[in-house]
Amino acid sequence: MSDSKTPLLDELEKGKWPSFVKDLKKLAQRSPKAKDLLGQLELSYKDKMTHWKHGGIVGVKGYGGGVIGRFSDAGDQFPGAAHFHTVRVNQPSGWFYTSSALRELMDIWDKYGSGILNMHGSTGDLIFLGADTDNLEPLFTDLSNADWDLGGSGSDVRTPSCCLGPSRCEFACYDTLALTYDITMTYQDLLHRPFFPYKWKFKMAGCPNDCVASIARSDFSIIGIWRDNIRMDQEAIKEYAEAGLNIAADVVNKCPKNCIEWDGKALKIDDECCSKCMHCINVMPKALRPGEDKGACILIGAKAPIVEGAQLSSVLVPFMKLEPPYDELKSLIQRIWDFWDEFGKARERIGECIQRIGLGNFLEKIGLEPVPQMVLQPRDNPYIFYEEYFEEE
Amino acid sequence: MATPQRRTDIGPPHYEKFLHPIIKNNYGKWKYHEVLKPGVLVHIAEGGDKIYTVRAGSPRLMSSDFVRLLCDLAEKYCDGYLRFTSRNNVEFLLANKDNIEPLINDLSANGIPVGGTKNTISNIVHTQGWVHCHSAATDASGLVKSVMDELCDYFTGKIELPHKLRIAVACCLNMCGAVHCSDIAILGVHRRPPKINYERLSNLCEIPSIIASCPLAAIRPTIIDGKKSVEVDEDNCMYCGNCYTVCPAMPIANPLNDGVSIWVGGKVSNARTAPMFTKLAIPFLPNNPPRWPEAVAAVKNIVEVYAKGAKKYERVGEWINRIGWPKFFDLTGIEFTKYHIDDFKYAGKTYRTTTQMV
Ligand code: HEM
Ligand code: HEM
Ligand code: HEM
Ligand code: HEM
Ligand code: SF4
Ligand code: SF4
Ligand code: SF4
Ligand code: SF4
């Protein structure tokens, strides 16, 4: 161990969780770029600081996004890390793969890059880490011939992503995979060529459990929901009770709207008051199911803290049916982009732009009627800017 | 493929190519699911078809060989069908129930744990850190590895929790992950204003865009050695690093002062309570690679206090809301300081305007 070049990182080979150090050290035996990446990372562990420079503009012909430049400030010590660009590859909806597709991708990546990657980036792409500038074009050519394309980066439509929805989840209220594919294909141009004031993220979740954190992480959140009554199977409810589930404590008392009754024999739900929070359904998936009149709630404006503070998405359309070709949805998206084009400032996310302009004014500009579902409560400050008033004759 | 011509704007492959035949046949027709044991799910379709899922932890940062290892296992046990989850776990989709145990054995022989379902701590979502980012105040992969080594028994379900617990790591305030809505978040922080390299600045950067980049208007134009430059009003700087994103001559990294902060009580799902942001628990812990013992101990402490005190189906944020913040600080032994009181825009909204203290 004494002649190891990475004594600090070696500590991370121990322990129960899979070790990226063990994995990358093995890779380093055949990949000089991986070897130098580990060398530079060891230096960071020693210096307690990063050794990446704020990169430069690199890319592939005809695309404004998808490749992000990355250069080292220790390139003389670690030549393999000198150029270490990121390539974002658009993942398939729901992150489904076959082993043969993954093998083909890995062979291409080994041929042109470091062999290091993320499965996946937090936006959803496959993230290839560590390509030289000269290899970007041939890498892209091989990828496109194997039917893969780049994802978004910069001020464009970022790669849309979704939960696995109807493919393996009984709660899905619309087809998240189909919509994600459709939106990705419809906006290819805007995904690959940054024309916006700032980034724009779509995330599709099939129900209010929101397994892709759409409400926290996307400018445009599409979250499945239903309008009618929760479907119930009283026999299955009894089975849960007999199997030991404490329905009074774990279901009735946990219902945020106090709308469930249970007399030991039958469950009753006051669907008028149900907020469709999913709790009771999560606890008894075999007995309770979302209703049959399904669609999605459209929310807008979530973002991480940079620049004006973090925001969650807020309701724009309480319920929309989502069937191909999704005309109503796409018309809404277009109206918002037109507004953004006119009123947005550079590096201002749509959520911040709406805060600045005012939700009420924004609605007027995109032609949506205000409805009480959009707010938690009406305003409590009396400083109203009246726009209608009577003039003296 | 006769001609290696590049094609553009073809988009990702259609997902249907990658769906297991059982999934394709029962698409949208799933009736219910059961968790057979931690990390193992069965989904039952209307017509009675079943698909089994084995969920395993992955380090997210991996080599192409690790992916090939996953492929080998998928081919051996489930005809090559696999997928990844929104928290970087890998899921094997099996038609045959008898393959579950052999697959799990093979995974553990390769050091890959199975779990992450239901009331467990699932995989940590995280960002790039020193592995690949210029903004990073800390590393992400090493921190995650250190925390998960310690909490692995919560992932595999060996120790049960009142409800699911989600951890995230972001290595700077840009937060390339959803750390602002996790049960527990570890967030890299800078604590000093950028150091300006005046010579590089005048060659590399545009003064107006540097000034515009600062959300607190802490950057002012000035003249240094006869050249147009900028100065930072250090009392006004919140170390966000926005200026560094725009101008590489204003590095924000500072080994002596960078470290991590710990945040608690966020959630994304709408179940029971509305989604919530995380709130500050610990303003600063030192960067102590390679194992970050202070941060690991802090997270473990919060997990253990939560596990002991929360009722069934209470997420961390819901538990804290029930017992109240004073009790949270009391039970965890975390010190409450001036830094815990918000002083940014609308800070007053977080002051307690009632005599009810719980
Ligand atoms: C006004 C100027 C700039 C703004 C507003 C800006 C903004 C950003 C933002 C928002 C990101 C996050 C990217 C993402 O999530 O895809 C980013 C990343 C990045 N920027 Fe900039 N940037 C600016 C100037 C520059 C300049 C001048 C360079 C290089 C000389 C640069 C190089 C990079 C690099 C290398 C990344 C890394 C992304 C990755 O590896 O994924 N940026 N920048
Ligand atoms: C050089 C530094 C940076 C690196 C290496 C980096 C890297 C990344 C990567 C790999 C992703 C996942 C992308 C995907 O899956 O397509 C991501 C997402 C993200 N980036 Fe960055 N980024 C950098 C700078 C920034 C900056 C400057 C900002 C903010 C202005 C930013 C904000 C975000 C956010 C909020 C996400 C999460 C999006 C989501 O949840 O979908 N990043 N970043
Ligand atoms: C919906 C809007 C509001 C209504 C209907 C309202 C109504 C009232 C009424 C009826 C009183 C009692 C007056 C009295 O008995 O002499 C009062 C007191 C007061 N209001 Fe308002 N108010 C409103 C908004 C505001 C706002 C926005 C502010 C300040 C930001 C404000 C500041 C005060 C103050 C300082 C008092 C005196 C309280 C005291 O002496 O204890 N009010 N308001
Ligand atoms: C309180 C409610 C819930 C929350 C907060 C929640 C949150 C999450 C999170 C954070 C993930 C990432 C999973 C990981 O890799 O560990 C996830 C994935 C998933 N959850 Fe949930 N979940 C909830 C309820 C459910 C329920 C009850 C089901 C089952 C019917 C479910 C189905 C799924 C599925 C299928 C995935 C994989 C999604 C994907 O990666 O695209 N969720 N969920
Ligand atoms: S968001 Fe809802 S539909 Fe989608 S995977 Fe999660 S529980 Fe299922
Ligand atoms: S979905 Fe939520 S609000 Fe509706 S009945 Fe169930 S627990 Fe109550
Ligand atoms: S969170 Fe900050 S340091 Fe980490 S990858 Fe994102 S921008 Fe870089
Ligand atoms: S670090 Fe942020 S607050 Fe400080 S000067 Fe730079 S942009 Fe302004």
> CB A90 to CB B12 under 8 A?
yes
With CA atoms as reference, report the closest residue to A183 among A206, A158, A166, A165: A158
How many contacts does A have with B, using Cβ atoms within 8 A? 344
Side-chain-side CA neighbours of residue A90 (13 Å): 34
Beta-carbon contacts of B194 under 8 Å, excluding residues fewer than 6 positions away, are B232, B237, B241, B243, B244, B250, B251, B252
Residue A159 pLDDT greater than 70, yes or no? yes
CB-based burial label for B336 (10 Å; 0-12, 13-18, 19+): middle
Rounded to the nearest integer, the mean pLDDT of chain B is: 93
- Whether residues A163 and B53 touch (CB distance < 8 A) is answered with no
Q: Which of A364-368, B103-107, B241-245, B264-268 has the lowest mean pLDDT?
A: B241-245
Q: Does B122 touch chain A (CB under 8 A)?
A: no
- The DSSP output letter for A5 is S
Q: How far apart are CA B350 and CA B335, in angstroms?
A: 18
- Decide which of A93 and B348 is more confident: A93
**CA-wise closest residue to A243 among A279, A278, A281, A286:** A286
Nearest ligand to the CA atom of A154 = 1
The residue to which tokens 């017992």 are assigned: B323
CB contact under 8 A, B139 and A306: no
What pLDDT does B1 receive? 46
Q: Is the pLDDT of residue A172 over 80?
A: yes
Q: Which residue of A has its CA nearest to B179?
A: A304
pLDDT tens digits, one per residue of A107-131: 999 999 999 999 999 999 999 999 9
Average pLDDT of the segment spanning B317-322: 96
The first and second tokens of residue A329, run together, are 């949805």
Q: Confidence class of residue A77 from pLDDT cuts 50, 70 and 90?
A: very high
Q: Say what the pLDDT of residue A308 is.
A: 64
B30 contacts chain A (CB < 8 A): yes
| Angle ∠(B4,B10,B12) on CA atoms, nearest 5 | 105
Q: Which helix (H) or strand (E) holds B56?
A: strand B50-56
What's residue A307's pLDDT?
59
Asked whether A172 and B28 are in contact (CB, 8 A), the reply is yes
pLDDT at B177: 63
The answer, yes or no, to whether any atom of ligand 8 lies below 6 A from the CB of B232, is yes
Instruction: Look at the block and give the residue holding tokens 């899922």.
Output: B53
Question: Residue A332 is inside which H or E element, if any?
Answer: helix A327-343
Q: Which of these, A273, A177, A120, lies nearest to B86 by C-alpha position? A: A120
Using the predicted structure, report yes or no on whether residue A88 has a pLDDT greater than 50: yes
pLDDT at A55 over 70: no
| Pairing of β B90-94 and β B81-84 | antiparallel
Calculate how far, in angstroms, residue A390's C-alpha sits from the geometric centre of ligand 3.
Answer: 27
Q: Is A346 close to ligand 1, i.e. is its CB under 6 Å away? A: no
A17 forms bridges with which residues in the sheet? none
Compare CB distances from B289 to A8, A100, A120 and report the shortest one's residue. A8
From the list A19, A141, A216, which residue is nearest B181 (CB)? Answer: A216
Top mutation candidate among B134, B231, B238, B245 for ligand 8, by most atoms within 8 Å of CB:
B238
B304 is written with which tokens? 């253990």
């909204």: which residue's tokens? B349
pLDDT in tens, A13-31: 999 999 999 999 999 999 9
| Cα distance between residue A238 and residue A93, in whole Å | 37
Q: Say if B125 is an interface residue toward chain A (CB within 8 Å).
A: yes
What number of H helices and E strands is found in chain A? 14, 16
CA distance A248 to B314: 15
Q: State whether A148 and B13 contact (CB < 8 Å).
A: yes
Indicate if the pLDDT at residue B178 is higher than 80.
no
Which of B27, B32, B313 shows the shortest C-beta gap to A166?
B27
Question: Where is average pLDDT lowest: A330-334, B15-19, B205-209, B286-290?
Answer: B205-209
Q: pLDDT value at position B322?
A: 96
Average confidence (pLDDT) over A347-373:
94
Q: How far is A46 from chain B (nearest CA, A)?
A: 8
Q: What is the pLDDT of residue A66?
A: 95
ipTM, two decimals: 0.91
**pLDDT reported for residue A3:** 65
Kindly state whether B277 is in contact with chain A, defined as any CB-CB distance less than 8 angstroms: yes
Reported residue count of chain B is 358
DSSP, residue by residue, A104-167: HHHHHHHHHEEEEEEE--SSS-EEEEEE-GGGHHHHHHHHHHTT--B---SSSBPPPEE--GGG
Please give the single-letter amino acid code of residue B27.
Y
Alpha-carbon gap, residue A336 to B320, rounded angstroms: 38
pLDDT at B204: 87
Q: Which two tokens stand for residue A279?
A: 């709790």
**What is the per-residue pLDDT for A56?**
73
Q: Which of these, A87, A96, A194, lies nearest to A139 by C-alpha position?
A: A87
Pick from B90, B237, B241: nearest CA to B175: B241
- Residue A20 with chain B: CB contacts under 8 Å: 59-62, 141, 145
> And the tokens for B173?
């305030």
- Residue type (1 letter), B328: F
Alpha helices in chain B (DSSP H): 21-25, 64-78, 100-109, 141-155, 198-204, 207-213, 242-246, 293-309, 316-323, 325-332
Mean pLDDT of A91-107: 98
Confidence (pTM)? 0.85
Q: Please tell me the residue having the least CA distance from ligand 3 atom 23.
A: A382
Residues of A in contact with B132 (CB under 8 A): 52, 70, 84, 86, 129
B108 part of contact set with chain A, CB < 8 Å: no
Q: What is the predicted pLDDT for the residue at A1?
A: 41
Question: In whole angstroms, what is the distance from residue B12 CA to residue A144 CA?
Answer: 9
Chain B hits for A211, CB-CB cut-off 8 Å, are 85-86, 269
CB-ligand 1 contact for B246 (6 Å cutoff): yes
What gap in Å lies between CA A211 and CA A208, rounded to an integer? 8
Between the CA of B245 and the centroid of ligand 1 the distance, in Å, is: 6
Q: How far is the CA of B112 from the centre of ligand 5 (A)?
A: 25
What lies within 8 Å, CB to CB, of B77 at 6+ separation is B92, B94, B96, B99, B102, B103, B106
pLDDT at residue number B3: 53
**Which residue is listed with tokens 């800078």?**
B190
pLDDT at B354 over 80: no
What's the whole-number average pLDDT of chain A? 94
Contact across the interface for A166 and B28, Cβ inside 8 Å: yes
B174-209 as b/e: b if 16+ CB within 10 A: bbbbbbbbbbbbbbbbbeebbebeeeebbeebebee
Cβ contacts of residue A201 below 8 Å, gap of 6+?
A: A123, A158, A160, A217, A218, A219, A220
Residue B160 pLDDT > 80: yes
- What pLDDT was estimated at residue B19? 98
Q: B125, B174, B179, B240: which to mutate for ligand 2, most atoms within 8 A of CB? A: B174
Q: How far apart are CA B174 and CA B203, in angstroms?
A: 26
Cβ contacts of A181 on chain B, cutoff 8 Å? 11-12, 14-15
Give a three-class secondary structure readout of A211-273. Answer: CCCHHHHCCEEEEEEECCCCEECHHHHHHHHHCCCCHHHHHHCCCCCCCEEECCCCEEECCCC
Residues A75/A81, Cβ–Cβ less than 8 Å: yes
Q: Each residue of B188-211: pLDDT tens digit?
A: 999 999 999 999 998 889 999 999
Picking from A53-62, A137-146, A298-307, which range would have the lowest pLDDT averaged per residue? A298-307
Is A55 within 8 Å of A71 (Cβ atoms)?
yes
Running DSSP on this structure, what letter comes out for residue B114? B
For A241, the token pair is: 């009770």
| A218-255 per-position pLDDT tens digit | 999 999 999 999 999 999 999 999 999 999 999 999 99
- Lining ligand 5 with CB less than 6 A are A 163-165, 169, 171-172, 205-207, 209-211
Q: How far apart are CA A265 and CA A231, in angstroms?
A: 17
Residue B23, pLDDT score: 98
User: CA–CA separation, A345 vs A343, rounded Å?
Assistant: 7
* Region at A231 (left for phi over 0; alpha for psi -120 to 50; beta for the rest): beta
- Residue A313, pLDDT > 70, answer yes
Closest approach of B341 to chain A, Cα-based (Å): 16
Task: Say whether the peptide bond before residue A120 is cis (omega within 30 degrees of 0).
Answer: yes
In this predicted structure, what is the pLDDT of residue B301? 98
Sign of CA dihedral A374, A380, A384, A388: positive
DSSP β-ladder status, B50-56 and B61-63: unpaired
